[in-house]
Chains A and B, each alone.
Chain A
Amino acid sequence: MALSLDKYLRMSKLPHIWCPGCGHGIVTQAIVRAIDELGLDTDKTVVVSGIGCSARAPGYLHFDTLHTTHGRAIAFATGIKMAKPELNVIIITGDGDAAAIGGNHLIHAARRNLDLTVICFDNNIYGMTSGQYSPLTPQGSYATTSPYGMLEKPFDLCNLVMGAGGTFAARSTTYHARQLTNVIKEAISHKGFAFVDALSQCPTYFGRRNKLRTPLDMMNWFKDRSVPLRAWSKMSPEEQEGKFPVGVLTKTQAPELTEVYAQLVEKLQQRGED
């Protein structure tokens, strides 16, 4: 593909700070490709992040960008979207950022069906602080704070978003780069709250503690455990054990908050004129 994505990047801010073999560059590229393929107005697109490795991505992207506090990206973005509903608001978050410290904001944004696109760079570890377990760390896996193996059960973030009333949830991985771009495109196009769980490898802090030393080992680990949605629905719970579905898991239509709000404003202003 001869297409240049440079115009979406702040070339002077590159190279990025991510470790060799990190998957975050692949997810960032998928976002940029999705934006390009959708032809979004770059003046009207805002990218917001929280804290962590993923949170550094907006600094490399040539849009209005906001690098907020830990866990709060969706809450900051809610202010932006409510203020200016005409903006495309994309949130880049991580698994610790979105599921632990920011979990409350995630479920409430889903419940409100506010037209935000949340892309979770899910490497199931706290990378920036060098490898503590997150709410997405698989049970039994090793992290600096689970030296005897992770005792707790992880979240399924897509299920969480769906349970909270989110109208779009999808999952893909850095192994499925083309699919990842496609689901992000669909997420951005979706009118309402959209969530993408983008599995991304952290060979440095997750892989090397878990016998997945190279980026390739980790991507193969994604490949081996992922199941296309159609096949997934035919599998028994025993067969599903240790695996996960990829693709668009839910897509429904429901009134979107800024539209509902605009209708209220119109109604009240008409009443005021009467």
Chain B
Amino acid sequence: MTKKRARLLQGNEAVVEGAIAAGLTFFAGYPITPSTEIAELCAAKLPAIGGKFIQMEDEIASMAAVCGASLAGMKAMTATSGPGFSLKQENLGFAVKGELPCVVVNVQRVGPSTGMPTSASQGDVMQARWGSHGDHEMVALSPSSVQEAFTLAVESFNIAEEYRTPVILLMDEMIGHLREKVVLPEKEELVIRNREKPNMTPEQYKPFAMDHGEIAGVPPLAAYGDGFKFHVTGLTHGEDGFPTNNPAIAEKQLKRLNEKISSNKKALTRVEKFYMDDAEVVVFAYGGTARSARKAVKDARAQGIKAGMLRAITIWPFAEDALLEVKRNSPKAVIVPEMNLGQLVLPVKRVIGDSAPVIPINKIAGQLVEPEEILLAIKEAM
């Protein structure tokens, strides 16, 4: 093992370190609490390594510039919070439709609207999934430690590049502003993936081909300026990228667009299982809230209670398979602590069904879900 680099970092700072380690070369952003440190650190670091930083005139423009830079071959990122995330949705949809790899960090704060800008929330879980219009899949990852903010930033870029899709790094203010020890891995310890480039002539190149590409349904992506002279539009398009109203072509393309993610759910979905082997009560948690859940499970175990935590690392695609396993073990209860009014309760219920009661614990005004509250729920469920 090479020499480790231990640092005391904030979650937002770790995201930038991870993004740069993954090959970030372009950042466009707009100031918004509680994500601003990400833009500030990119402004300081990117020019020094030959990367590009620009503070755009608004959130919409930041997302647009990220799409443009991605088409020019850059690994591009933007960062925001609730109100800005809402503004970015149209161009986020463009990135989905144009199949433009990029990373959007959302450090969640309390909403709706301007809400409580400096307080932690997990209220954008459903916005991450369905904020943009039309049928689409979305990949969203949620770190629960500063170390994981680093690793998931790398992972977000890898998934974006590999699947030609935007990826949302769904932080919460708790993790964004938390300072703790991080060990930055050496370059050679990291797996870095890059988008597949076309290996055919410009005449043969179809930027939205149905059957090209190493991963089924993910066509290679040329860069602007490389001589491919290709067209990208938000209009529904055929394999060549030009608009079509032909329902047969439109349906094929839209299915490919969705299935390149949905049919790879197994490869994309990440969970952590904590004391799950013999768990009689399961806490389903994610992001900052999983820290309290972990403590509650440890305390329960210390008292001889068989509790476990299933932590969703990918919020989307949803951890269906892991929950099906939970269902098969017929737990006494599945407890779902969230800093929202229970946005993931229904998706959990959809999988768990009647096999166990699903018990929400919700905080919506910026307070954290305390370990004691979860422990109490665990005990009540026993």
Contacts and interface: CB of A to CB of B under 8 A. Distances in A.
Contacts of B68: 48, 66, 75-81, 83
Interface string B30-49: 00000000000000000110
A264 interface: yes
Contacts of B243: 59
Contacts, number: 131
B232 interface: yes
A179 interface: no
B214 interface: no
Nearest to B28: A79
Interface residues of B, number: 42
A11 to B, nearest CB: 13
A190 to B, nearest CB: 20
Interface residues of A, number: 38
Nearest to B70: A79
Contacts of A104: 57-58, 61
A268 B74 CA distance: 21
Given A69-B94, A82-B54, A76 B65 contact: yes
A46 B48 CA distance: 27
Interface string A46-74: 10100000000011001111111100100
A87 interface: yes
Contacts of B67: 68, 76, 79
A80 B224 contact: yes
A66 B74 CA distance: 16
Contacts of A46: 224-225
A86 interface: yes
Contact of B71 (A69, A72, A80): A80
Contacts of A77: 68
A65 B225 CA distance: 10
Nearest to A58: B231
Contacts of B54: 78, 82
Interface string A86-123: 11000000000000000011001000000000000000
Interface of A: 13, 42-44, 46, 48, 58-59, 62-69, 72, 75-84, 86-87, 104-105, 108, 261, 264-265, 268-269, 272
Interface of B: 25-26, 28, 47-48, 50, 52, 54, 56-58, 60-61, 64-74, 76, 90-91, 94, 224-235, 242-243
24 contacts: A43-B225, A43-B227, A46-B224, A48-B68, A59-B233, A64-B228, A66-B224, A69-B234, A75-B56, A75-B61, A75-B68, A76-B64, A78-B54, A78-B64, A79-B65, A79-B68, A79-B69, A81-B68, A82-B26, A82-B65, A108-B61, A261-B47, A265-B48, A269-B50
